[in-house]
Amino acid sequence: MWTYVLPDDMGNSPRTLRPDPMNNSAKTNTLPSVGTVCRAVLALTLATFVVGCGDSAQKQAAPPPPTVTVAKPVKRTVSDFDEYVGRFVAVNSVEVRARVSGYLDGIHFKDGQAVQKGDLLFTIDKRPFQNAVDQARANVNQAKSNLAFTEADYTRGQQLVRDKTITDQTFEQRSQAYRNAQASVANTEAAQRTAELDLEFTELRAPVNGRIGDRRVSPGNLVTGGTGGNTTLLATIVSTDPIRFEFTFDEASYLRYERLAKGSNNDISSSGTGAGTKVSLKLIDEQDFAHEGSMDFVDNVIDRATGTIRGRAVFANPNGVLTPGMFARVRVPASPPYEALLVPDAAIGTEQARRLVTVVNAENVVTLKYVTLGQVLPDGLRVIKDGLGPDDRVIVNGQLRARPGQKVTPQEQGAAPAAGAPAASAPPQGAKK
């Protein structure tokens, strides 16, 4: 039998452990030594201290400032523009109607084809009109024969009246017959020209260059002609090249254009909104104002009902894409050229009704600047009219990572990132993906 003495934790006398009298086995209960317990306690204490130091170090290590891309505003000479919506109209639009009545004999075009001035389009049965011409010519011959007889009788009467062979009354009768014969010849010749003109009108030819629509009447139908309001519409022709574009603008814009036109220190003064002002146009499925034209007319009266005035521009249309009645958007110069600052339109932010840009100051701290915007140019740059300086460094990439008052790492647009610095397009370290 052996005894293991262990001091009590409370400082009492040692306690003796003996084998269990109920256990007949030769096993004995053992406890760890004092040194083992002390070493375990010390190891636990050191581990707790080390873990606490690691947490404190992680809490004290702040993430690096986020990297953003900055760029200075671009200086460029620009002009302001106004945009309006309007419709294309044909320079010439003609309704093809017959001038004489008759039965339609033939159609000499295909629906929708391009026609030139003078091309034959329709023919009306010529036979009645040819008969009228022949009759008119016969009447002219008869009148000329009568004129020759009365002229000879009048000539003889002049000598006879001098010889007192005939009376003055008889001579006056011969003179009257001669004058009537002259009038009859003139009348029959006019009737002949009318008959010949009606015969010519049986062939309907294109009065202008353009594109013809579909036929409205088939051959064999009776066509009503003349100058009345119940004539038969056969087809329509519209010119396509050049083509006009009509739009309206308000009274305030009209006054601004007029003052610009009368100014002496701007390039628009020579033309204003009158003839010669260059304008550009885009269709509803286009992104850029690629069609170039010029103003050719501004109305002389402002509409009292709408307070607008009508303007018109002309555009070349060699391929026939621009069609009368088509909608489009036109851009009209609204200011003389001036030097402006431009930034990418994507760098513009919004705060309720105000527009702003985020800039980086000399201490690399983010600040906000409220700006007055101008137009967007085709290359995606936005004109800044007020609120921005030429030396301001505008954040053009990484605005979401830059908060006002926060320090950032600016990187010039187009420059290679510094060694060890994260790319501007990458999320900051520690951010959740």
The model's pLDDT over 219-275, given as tens digits with 9 standing for 90+, comes to 999 999 988 778 999 999 999 989 999 999 999 999 888 888 776 444 443 444 455
- For 96, other C-beta atoms within 10 Å of its C-beta total 20
Query: Both 232 and 350 in a single domain?
Result: no
Query: Both 384 and 317 in a single domain?
Result: no
DSSP string, 186-204: HHHHHHHHHHHHHHHHTEE
On whether residue 432 sits in a domain, the answer given is no
On whether residue 422 sits in a domain, the answer given is no
pLDDT of residue 27: 43
Query: Both 224 and 130 in a single domain?
Result: yes
**Distance in angstroms (rounded) separating the CA atoms of residues 261 and 409:** 49
Question: Residue 413 above 70 pLDDT?
Answer: yes
Say whether 327 sits in a helix, a strand or coil: strand
Query: Both 128 and 159 in a single domain?
Result: yes
Higher pLDDT, 394 or 11: 394
On whether residue 29 sits in a domain, the answer given is yes
Say whether 180 sits in a helix, a strand or coil: helix
pLDDT of residue 36: 60
Query: Both 250 and 365 in a single domain?
Result: no
- CATH label of the domain that carries residue 370: 2.40.420.20
CA-derived radius of gyration, the chain:
51
pLDDT of residue 410: 87
Q: HSE-up of 168 (CA within 13 Å, CB side)?
A: 0
Query: Both 113 and 36 in a single domain?
Result: no
On whether residue 103 sits in a domain, the answer given is yes
Per the structure, the complete domain to which residue 33 belongs is given by 4-59
**Distance in angstroms (rounded) separating the CA atoms of residues 282 and 293:** 11
**Boundary-marking domain end, from 333, 359, 376:** 333
Query: Both 291 and 344 in a single domain?
Result: no
Query: Both 329 and 360 in a single domain?
Result: no
Contact in structure between 379 and 78 (CB atoms under 8 Å): no
Task: Report pLDDT digits (tens) over 93-125.
Answer: 999 999 999 999 999 999 999 999 999 999 999
Domain count for the chain, please give it. Answer: 4
* Cβ partners under 8 Å of residue 316, min gap 6: 241, 242, 293
Closest by Cα among 133, 127, 132 to 103: 127
